[in-house]
Structure 1
Amino acid sequence: MAAPQARLSLLSTAVSRGGVAAAAWALLVAAAAVPLAVLGGWAPWPAAVVLVVAGVVAVVVSRWVPVVPVPRAAGLLLVLVAVGAGVWAGATHAEHVVLRRDAGTYALSGQHLATAHQVRVDVHAADIGGPALLSRPGVTVGSPGFYEQGRGADVHVVPQFLLATTVWLSVGWWLGGWTGLLLVPAVVLGAAVLAFAGLAVRVVGPWWAVPATATLAVAAPVLHAGRATYSEPLALLAGCAAGALLVAVCGSRGEPPRRLAVLAGALAGGVALVRVDALRESSLLLPTLALLAVAGGPAVRRVVGPVLLGLLGATVVAAASAGLTSRPYLASLAGSLVPLAAGAVVLALGSVSAVLLARRGVRLPHALRSRLPLLLSLAVVVAGLALATRPWWQTVRQSAADPGARVVAGLQLRQGLAVDGGRTYAEHSVQWVGWWVGVPALVLALAGAGYAAWRLGRAWRDGDPLPAWTPVAVVAVGSTLLTLYRPGITPDHPWADRRLVPVVLPAVVLLAVAAVAAATRLTRRRRPGPASRLVAAAGAVLVLAPTAWATAPVATQRTERGEVAAVQRACAAFGPADSAILLDSRAANEWTQVLRGVCSVPTVVVRATSATPADRATVLALAQAIARTGRRPVLVAAESPDAVRRVGAEPTHVVHLATIEDQRLLTRRPDGAAALGVDLWLAPAT
């Protein structure tokens, strides 16, 4: 019996602590990398020291986490699902390195950080015409995802996104070049699925955690995020690990370790190192902590302070990191970030006020308190139904002048829809979730959320200990409702569906499985025998089968294959003394950072559109200025050779790639791929 017991202990430890250790390691490395990357010191040897030290710390702190006993078969299935998710995402990984969407921005940012060892992207103004010409209207060194900053000789570029994901992509580059970099999200996804398994085990139990984890792992948006260089897998990892720790702290028998509470808060706040919008979940945790301080048991009340300490400390670190590395990005998000920050302040003040009033003996009126279970349950169900029925009574629009409106209008035209570029399609957000998990799972999730609200209200009313899952449920349900109300993303699919990955899909899946588990327990109490097993099996199938069916058409799809080789061909076409002048919009959008960062070719853009070609006089002035420095100006086009010919040069077709990309659908579930052509024409300026 000793060997099986050892295996049981090992599997239980892996499920309970593995995700926490991975999340702690990932966030510690990301935080430590910030000053090094700002100062130009994120090189392999300093990074190796950071990785080792952070790894040791992560292992040590993960040992604080109490282990949940998991049956051998359930533990083995959970670990296999996590490993399988990572392996499958890696086997079908994309090669999005010619920049079109956010994945390209992350990939190129990671490559730059790995090779330049700093956040700042130097553009070498003297090699592309000099500061005077760079200040001309229509001339820029920036591109989508890379902001032009500074003036004169100090002009440079700053990558768009927060640094955490970029840091880990740079590690992948050091380990294996493009292949290593592109496989990082798949590895992180495997760890994230394991972290979700650890959370599910604590919320619904080990056996119910198996269908929950399998459903999340096969969901197409989760697979899509793990195939390409996105931040969502890392956010999912940190968020699920934080949730598992919060449940462990609130469900601890006896006195919960305060250091574990600090760690739970730190992981919850640390998600903001990965994604700016994680401030939403951190804000929602504040009133939850206030509720625990007011209505929790004595032991739980004593750990509210440590959780808050960890949360605030990590949030400050994340804010400092964002300010140091992504200030232009934050400025571009001011329209949504300022209201989010204001909401956080309001929730903080309201939470403090509620705790102070409770300590002075102020209580809810008896009439309200006696109806808490019903009122909370009704509030959740009504909110869910309101979101689900929005297409019947609301059409959400943004300003038609927004750049995204032009993109939407173009997609509508190509898909035969009424052209109304201002539409965000946010009223269909619940439908987006239903595409991937099915209507039965949505119904079950709403029932599960209503039941959770009823149980929470009953415990609050009766003065009983609050359920251990209280903070996770409140934050997950609140964040899901807010995300579905305002997704805040260009609504083409499957690209937009990654917005569902960090919180919405885990919450929906876990709530749906919790509802099935509750129905099974109820059936077992009322009708012992095979009826409960039938309910359990049918419920698990209702959750898992529609998700697998929806994913099947895209399960083996690999997009952007051949782009790494295309970039290598492009780089080989340039000489060491060449400077690139980009002449059309596709070249400017897709190739600027590729040529500058990957090919080490000084690059400048002359703005152009399909209706307005690049100004010939400006192009010639740049070419002459570059030639005077002893370098060779090279004209670059990616839409067609016409942009080069307009300047009087005859181009050479150096890159021609026919590959595929994800579809860009507005009103139906994606079920395949779209053709994608990648071309590049070069010509020496004459």
Structure 2
Amino acid sequence: MSQRTSTPAATDSLPGLRGEQLSGIVLARGGPLAAGFAAVVGLLAAVLVPFGGWRPWLVLPLVIAGFAAVVWLVRWIPASQAPRWTAPAVLAIATGHGLWAALTHAEHVVLRRDAGSYALYTQWISTRHGLPIPSWLEAFGGSEALADPAFRLASPAYYQVANGSGVDIVPQFLLGAPAVYSLGWWVNGWGGVLVMPAIFSALAMLGFAGLATRLIGARWAVLATASLVLAQPMLQAARSTYSEPIALLLVTVAAALLVDAVKSGNEGVEKAARMLGLSAGLAFGLAGLFRVDGLREVSLLLPVAAVLALRKHPASRPLVVGTLAGTAVAVVPAVWLSRPYLGTISASLIPLIAGGVVLGLFSLAVVQIARRREGKTSALGTALTTDAWRARWPWLLAGAVALIGVGLASRPLWMVARQDPNDPGAKVVAGLQLEQGLTLDVGRTYYEYSLNWISWYLGPLMIVAAWAVFTFLAAATARWWLATLPTRPTEASPTSSSSREVPVWLGPAVIAFGSILLTVYRPGITPDHPWADRRMVPVVIPALVLAATAAAAWIARRALRRWTATALTGVIAAAVVIMLVPPALATLPIAGQRTEKGQVAAAEKVCAALGEKDVVVALDNRAANEWPQVIRGFCDRPAASVRITDIDDTQAVADTVRPIVQRITAAGNRPVLLAATEQGEAVITALGLTSRQVVDLVSNEPQRYLTRVPDGEARLDVDVWLADASEVSR
């Protein structure tokens, strides 16, 4: 395959392009176009949402203008020729993935998990144009209600935050994904919102294929993309309103731009290297608009930038500048709009930030010390770079990577991972243990099985092959580094361009391996599947698929040079089977699954049953968890919940509810109790009130397994009873 780089002048006139050129352009620039679009939307939201400016008449022209700038900038990304069939094949795979995910999309809007939170967040800013969410405290009797310990405005994923003498409601997650998905609302309401993750997952596959093309080749990118779309977690994330599809798009495109920057610098095109390095850093940093975990990739990027600086690569400084600038921009809306959420994850966020600071300072110190000592070699440095040690370092580094893999894989044999038994997630796990007949072990996280989770979806052979590639790359990194060091204490470092070239795979390999290691070691999520597996979507599964594909490509190329054509055919056939069959078999049982059906209609029924003066109080725990934000967002009515210690004690419940409904009545409104369980409805009846069931939905949700691969769905009953509580206040 030709590796000639197309210049903008040669590629702007589309009618004159050959198929190979056009295919290369699509693979090189398709992902960056999509990532640039998402970044523009996220940046605009960070500026407009806090001030109530998220309105289509203002946003859409700005998005178009921003995207036009992205189109102009993307023209300068180098594009090599590719076989003319590769881009159509990738587009077909990505489109098929997106179309299937859209046709089988979930309808998760009654808030039970994170997808429901994102959906309601999207709906709010799409229709109310800004944040925070008002509490309508005056409908509950004003600030006096806050003094009642039983009164609660907060609900899962929606925090109650003091605001002067009142309070506001603040959604949990970062702003980026709801902002992007809100474009779907303006096109087709809930129908548009619920298919937006599928669209961006398809675009993410295009970005992934572009990265694979740069690192392995366009032909192998087709196989890698096909393998990735078949993995069950990728399909599950694309079906629901999660942030992972957009995060995957930003991360893969950032890594691809990093490859381009390094390659341009190696070829002596310094201006292009600086521009591409700046773009790569911005993409890594702006991923933080969509996902807090983006700080992990940013932290791992800093040592890569240090290596580039030590080899005087022109992309090093712009890469750091772009990374810090993008991260700083992403931090502002996170702190401004999601501070309570950041507080709840501080136990994992603070070590992540601290680790990034340490890595950054260490990288800076190494660069400064190395520059000051350039041309000098200490006794220790001389001893560690003798011919004997030069031969050992690649083996030592490769052995360390292999040993880490063995350690992670063997953890179930010698480790039981646990967390604080008082953590809310621990209580969820304990309930699932009882349901599934497992040994009750409150606080267990099952994190020691995290590598097994991935093997459910990719198969063990792919993981072994991928880890072998990381082991090989560790040795190759050591050999490259040592080859660029002086051989004698008085000798300067080699200055020839060939000896100082940085491997284009170095940055993606370091970031991918570090992210895999940290994520697999501690996933940081409630370990019920398939919900937990979305943690592996943005980096871990794509990186392993890419590395396994690299292993197949390496073996195939050796077969092409040394073996027969029959052997080459066998290698390719084996690669196709290993990379496609296990993911397909794991996904097949849930391929046609569509979960949370009927929830939009259920929420609309509740709204239709409420009057203009109705103020809703959620009675039982399930009602308090699932419905307050639905009532605010769907129905535009005030909603709160009541803390009840013993719902079976009717008199205690009446005594708890009475002051709340009295204040609502005194404010000129009608208090309405909402129950979501038969137990809650029984309490309404016991209070002497007449309830009316407005929702009786038999829906479904994904299975919730702790120790096995999900292969079906579970029944989900959604019930709502409403009752006029005016009588309780008397």
| Structure 1 length-normalised TM | 0.97
How many angstroms apart in 1 are the aligned matches of 2:683 and 2:450? 41
Tell me if the contact between 2:98 and 2:201 (Cα under 8 Å) persists in the aligned partners: yes
SS of match in other structure, 1:276 = coil
What does 1:482-497 correspond to in 2, within 5 Å?
482-497=518-533
Describe the SS at the equivalent of 1:148: strand
Give the match for residue 645 of structure 1. Answer: 685
1:374 to 390, 395, 400: 395
Distance in 2 (CA, whole Å) between partners of 1:208 and 1:470 is: 19
Question: Partners of 1:405 and 1:652 in 2: how far apart?
Answer: 35
The size of the alignment, in residue pairs, is 681
Which stretch shows the higher mean deviation, 65-74 or 582-591? 65-74
Find the counterpart in structure 2 of residue 619 from structure 1.
657
Match of 2:703 in 1: 663
**Residue segments in structure 2 that go unaligned for 5+ positions in a row:** 1-13, 485-498
Asked if 1:678 is matched to 2:693, the reply is: no
**Superimposed CA distance per residue, residues 583-626 of structure 1 (whole angstroms, 9 cap, x where no aligned partner):** 01111100010001111111111023676667322312221221
Aligned partner of 1:636 in structure 2 is: 674
Residue type at the aligned position of 1:394:
M
2:617 pairs with one of 581, 585, 598: 581
- Partner SS for 2:720: strand
Contact 2:150 2:643 in 1 (8 A): yes
Bigger shift: residues 492-501 or 114-123: 114-123
Deviations 1:195-250 (A, max 9, x none): 00000000110111111011111111011001000000010000000011111111
1:254 is matched with which residue? 268
Does 2:448 align with 1:427?
A: yes
* Corresponding residue SS for 1:487: coil
Q: Is the 8 A contact 2:220 2:553 kept in 1?
A: yes
Measure, in 2, the Cα distance between the counterparts of 1:608 and 1:504: 42
Deviation, 1:151, is 5.6
1:556 matched to 2:592? The reply is yes
Q: Deviations over 1:49-71 (max 9, x none)?
A: 22112211221221121112111
Instruction: Give the distance between the partners of 2:437 and 2:467, measured in 1 at CA.
Output: 34
Between the aligned partners of 1:265 and 1:485, the Cα distance in structure 2 is 26
1:642 alignment partner, SS class: helix
Q: 1:467 Cα shift? A: 1.5
SS of the residue aligned with 2:671?
strand
Q: Which residue does 1:443 correspond to in 2?
A: 464
Tell me if structure 2 keeps the 8 A contact 1:19–1:241.
yes
Alpha-carbon displacement from aligned partner over 1:257-314 (angstroms, at most 9, x marks no partner): 12221111100111111111110110011011111222x4x5xx11100111100100
Q: Say which of 294, 300, 314 aligns to 1:284.
A: 300
The answer on 1:339 being equivalent to 2:373 is no
- Deviation of the 1:35 alpha carbon: 2.2
Aligned pairs (5 A) from 1:404-483: 404-463=425-484, 464=499, 465-483=501-519
2:561 equivalent to 1:520:
no
* Aligned mates of 2:616, 2:661 — CA distance in 1: 9
- 8 A contact 1:128–1:603 mirrored in 2: no
Q: Which has the larger displacement, 487-496 or 280-289? A: 280-289
Question: Offset at 1:152?
Answer: 7.2
- Structure 2 partner of 1:266: 282
Q: Please tell me the residue identity of whatever aligns with 1:596.
A: R
Instruction: Describe the SS at the equivalent of 2:695.
Output: strand
Deviations, residues 308-337 of structure 1 (Å, cap 9, x unaligned): 110010000011121111111111111111
* Percent identity of equivalent pairs: 46
Alignment of 1:151-190 (within 5 A): 153-190=165-202
Measured at CA, do residues 288 and 612 of structure 1 come closer, stay the same or move farther in structure 2, by a change above 3 Å?
A: farther
Q: CA deviation at 1:80?
A: 0.8
Give, in whole Å, the separation in 1 of the partners of 2:645 and 2:677. Answer: 10
1:631 Cα deviation (Å)?
1.5
Instruction: Tell me the amino acid that sits aligned with residue 656 of structure 1.
Output: D
Superposed CA offset, 1:117-148 (max 9, x none): 11200021111232212321121111000000
Amino acid at match of 1:276: V
Structure-2 residue corresponding to 1:293: 309
Deviating more after overlay: 186-195 vs 370-379: 370-379
Separation in structure 2 between the aligned mates of residue 514 and residue 93 of structure 1, nearest angstrom: 32
Q: Please give the secondary structure, in 2, of the residue aligned with 1:520.
A: helix
Aligned to 2:76, what secondary structure does the other structure show? coil
**Is the 1:582–1:635 contact (alpha carbons within 8 Å) kept by the matching residues of 2?**
yes
How many Å separate the matches in 2 of 1:63 and 1:143?
A: 47
Structure 1 counterpart of 2:460, one-letter code: V
1:20–1:528: structure 2 CA closer, same or farther, 3 Å change rule? same
* SS, match of residue 649 in structure 1: coil
- 1:682 is paired with a residue whose SS is strand
SS in 2 for 1:93: coil
**Mean CA deviation greater in 573-582 or 152-161:** 152-161
Deviations 1:146-192 (A, max 9, x none): 00011675211000000000101222111110010111101110110
Q: Distance in 1 between matches of 2:147 and 2:101?
A: 44
Look at both structures and tell me which one has the larger radius of gyration over its CA atoms: 2
Please give the alpha-carbon distance, in whole angstroms, between the structure 1 residues aligned to 2:482 and 2:192. Answer: 54
Question: Taking structure 1 as reference, are residues 647 and 489 closer, same or farther at Cα in structure 2, changes over 3 Å only?
Answer: same
Deviates more, 1:69-78 or 1:507-516: 69-78
Write the mapping of 1:389-404 to structure 2, written as runs, cut at 5 A. 389-404=410-425
Could you say what secondary structure the match of 2:79 adopts? coil
SS of aligned partner of 1:155: strand
Alpha-carbon separation, structure 1, partners of 2:367 and 2:69: 34
Equivalent residue, structure 2, for 1:146: 158
d(CA) in 2 for partners of 1:443 and 1:146?
42
For 1:366, the aligned partner's letter is T
CA–CA distance in structure 2, aligned partners of residues 305 and 594 of structure 1: 47
Name 2:94's counterpart in structure 1: 82
Q: In the aligned structure 2, how far is the partner of 1:99 from the partner of 1:66?
A: 45
Please point out which of 69, 72, 76 is paired with 1:64: 76
In the superposition, relative to structure 1, how do residues 77 and 609 fare at CA in structure 2: closer, same or farther (>3 Å)?
A: farther
CA distance in 2, matches of 1:610, 1:105: 28
Contact 2:237 2:534 in 1 (8 A): yes
Aligned mates of 1:13, 1:292 — CA distance in 2 = 27
Task: Give the stretch that moved more between structures: 141-150 or 529-538.
Answer: 529-538
The superposition leaves residues 526-559 of structure 1 with CA deviations (integer Å, 9 ceiling, x where unpaired) of 2243212211221222112111111111111000
* In 2, Cα distance between equivalents of 1:5 and 1:40: 46
Maintained 8 Å contact 1:577/1:632: yes
| Contact 1:606–1:615 (Cα < 8 Å) also in 2 | no
Note the C-alpha offset of 1:21: 1.1
The one-letter code sitting in structure 1 at the alignment partner of 2:269 is E
The residue number in structure 2 matching 1:324 is 336
Q: Distance in 1 between matches of 2:475 and 2:80?
A: 26
* Distance (whole Å) between structure 1 residues aligned to residue 85 and residue 565 of structure 2: 23
- For 2:455 and 2:243, locate their aligned partners in 1 and report how far apart those are by CA, in whole Å: 23
SS in 2 for 1:217: helix
**Structure 1 residues 423 and 20: alpha-carbon distance in aligned structure 2, compared to 1, 3 A threshold:** same
Show the counterpart of 1:540.
576
Paired residues of 2:22 and 2:84 also in contact (CA < 8 A): no
* 8 Å contact kept, 2:153–2:641: yes
Contact 1:135–1:152 (Cα < 8 Å) also in 2: no
Could you say what secondary structure the match of 1:72 adopts? coil
Query: 1:9, CA displacement in angstroms?
Result: 3.0
Q: Which amino acid aligns with 2:656?
A: T
Distance 2:175 2:286 in 1: 12
Counterpart-to-counterpart distance in 2, 1:617 and 1:496: 40
Structure 2 CA distance for aligned equivalents of residues 147 and 591 of structure 1: 14
Change (3 A) 1:609 1:55: farther
**1:73 aligned to 85, 88, 96, which one?**
85
TM-score by length of 2: 0.91
Name 2:133's counterpart in structure 1.
Answer: 121
Superposition deviation, residue 43 in structure 1: 1.0
How much is the aligned-residue C-alpha RMSD, in angstroms? 1.6
